[in-house]
Structure 1
Amino acid sequence: MAGTSEEESNIRSVGDFAKYLGLSRWTVSRILNGHTGVHEDTRKRVMDEMHRLGFQPNMMARSLKGAKTGLIGVCFQEIESPILARKISSLQESLRSRGLRGVMEITSGVAEAERDIINHFFSLRVDGIILIGSELAPEDPIFKRLSREAMPVVTVDAAYDIPLPRVELDRHMAMLLSLRHLQQRGHSSFALLGLESDPVYGARRIEGLKEAAKKLGLDWDGSFLSLKTESRKDWSYEYGYDLAQELLQLENPPRGVIALNDRVAIGAMKAIREWGYKIPKDFSVVGFDNLEIGQWTEPSLTTVGQNVGEIIEESIVLIQGLIDDGKKPNVAPVIRVQPKLIVRTSS
């Protein structure tokens, strides 16, 4: 490396790195393993120097000696969803700030691929595993291995209630916030655009809406209309546009609109305006995900924020605690992160 001293060039191991810094190997190892109990200034100095020098400890060699590798296996379903991409970005940043590294794998929503990836993580001797949007069923045989080998695992927004520590958005609360807001705006009938198209979280959101309707004194059968297209899986602006076209052809369409996501909501708003209606005077529209584009639409989009930063931070704190404790918890904890309704001019 240009500009480095001979001493810096000779750093080959954690011991060499510790000696160069004038610190004990024990202190440097604790920092590299993500342990607590080290002064923040010391931790920052070690991480800054490691990045400046480009020093990377031999994780596999350390794992064979029983030391932690600093590797976290991260398994997610796909990267096309903007909100999932945001979760991955936040996760990488949070891991990096703790001196950890994520080994990323994509399953494309195939349970068998997810199972194979978890087995691969074992071969890499990762310290822990985070499953984002896992679609494994509760009876999947991989859970026996995870339990037998006491691998620290945390799930984020899993599709099913699997027997693992998990962090998830409170989607029932998200639906209560949306529905109550529209009711307060004077709406008594509601169109659900594409919610049932989502095979993973759609059912939970419908359950949440039914609970909210009961709480708010609304008749489910008489006040709600759910629209979806069976063959559509893109959940895009175009999908929202098409569903709104179907809605607007009704003689007396519901005027309070709850969309699957922000893209569907924005597509729906385009169709509503093209029919000559005004938003929010004639229709109110609420999205989901709080994508940045929602601030720039006309009108700007009311939406539900998932608090992605908090979801990821909770998952990292949880996995690090499991790694440091070195034992499986007696009861798998469930952390539900609260959503936030962002009210803008579409409602």
Structure 2
Amino acid sequence: MIDESILFESQYRILRPIAEGGMGRVYLAEQLGKSGFSKTVAIKVIHSDHLKSSVFRNLLIGEAKLTADLVHENILQVYQLIDIRGADAIVMEYVHGVTIEGINARLDDIEDYIQPDLAAFIVSRVARALAYAHSKRGRDGRALGIVHRDVTPTNILINWQGVVKLSDFGIAKAADIRSIDEKHAIVGKTPYLSPEQARHESADGLSDIFALGLVLYEALVGRIAYPTNDVSELVAMHEAGPPTSVLSYNPDIPPQLEQIMLRMMAMDRADRYQSAADVVTTLELFLYASGYGPTNEKLRDYLEILFPNVDKTRIDLTPPKPTGGKNEDSVDPTEAKLGSKTVFRRPRTR
């Protein structure tokens, strides 16, 4: 029995919003404890518009339960499910860094492309996360059947030390978690849907692999492979064949890497890699077969050059001063997520 004298109630100090999504908002916060204990965390809260919706509440609770035991270097960690003024909220790991979307926005500004080996490295880390999640078993030993269903550039974060994190299992499905029925609703952001998802068929691990191939395409050239928010138009694009070759944008991309990407994005499920673990093996053979290849440290150094004016060693925990205007609710552009619709970028001239 635990001695009640050693128990204490942790509290949270919410500092400022850092990201926005279709379901909720993410805040930078401090977890406060006994004897001056303090831990920087992120807290995801359902939008006030959705507080009365059992669907959104079930999604948030399902995300917390699903990811509680997903302990992996490349998966954003969830710490606790709490109540904040009557609203359910998830306390999770705070990543001081940038999303793939943020990297591409910066590359748009300077009209350049990421080093292909670093793009492959980032995607290989996400593939490691998916391989772990797809094969995860519950405490009773049964396969959980986890499918992320939202593998997109805004849900892949890289901290300033070069560690890649897959986040937002908010619409993931698993055997024991209530989620949206794919037969009645499209689940995921339209440009990143696999052909089977666009046809309202059930998603599985191969659907996540398809989406990750699309992420690799976008990371390499800064263009969305299938730029549409209309599902019917997306189906027509899929039927028309592969998107424009990445080599036509950047001829410095190794053809072997493009072939790996195209297999991930194969329209016929039988032609795709049959597991995320296969993707990991193939990408790592590509990256390291000839010797020393990309590392977290190499990615860290690249981000240092790409974002020279960002303070990567200090997290500003000072709450913003109320201004009475819109700026007090602003979102950090290097950490922000888009909503359900995707913004399409202009082409780079290089």
**Normalized against structure 1, the TM-score is what?**
0.28
TM-score, scaled to structure 2: 0.28
Structure having the higher Rg: 1
Greater per-residue helix proportion: 1
User: Whose relative contact order is higher, 1 or 2, with alpha carbons under 8 Å and at least 6 apart?
Assistant: 2
